[in-house]
Amino acid sequence: MATHINLDNFAKRIRDACLEAVLQEYEDAGVQGLCAEGRWEAAVGALRTLDLAPLLREFQSRSTDRAPKKKCVFSILTFSSR
């Protein structure tokens, strides 16, 4: 059950990071005077370039600290921005 709670927390943190990046970029683009379409494009661009690797490393580190003999699935994932 503890692993399930960790995964739920991890998913929430990823979702929160994505929302924060999108909303911040949308607001910044509005301050710069972009129209709604331009603001949306800027927000999507922020989502595409969001670096989730630090969250993945933290999750992997915590997972291996709790169960050193198990290999974390996230260690095989790689992320790249377009």
Read off the pLDDT of residues 3-48 as tens digits, 9 standing for 90 and up.
555 888 899 999 999 999 999 999 999 999 999 999 999 999 999 9
Say what the pTM is.
0.67
Torsion of CA 12, 17, 22, 26, to 10 degrees: 120
Phi, psi at 75, each rounded to 5°: -70, -20
Most confident of 5-9, 68-72, 74-78: 5-9
pLDDT confidence band for 80 (50 / 70 / 90): very low
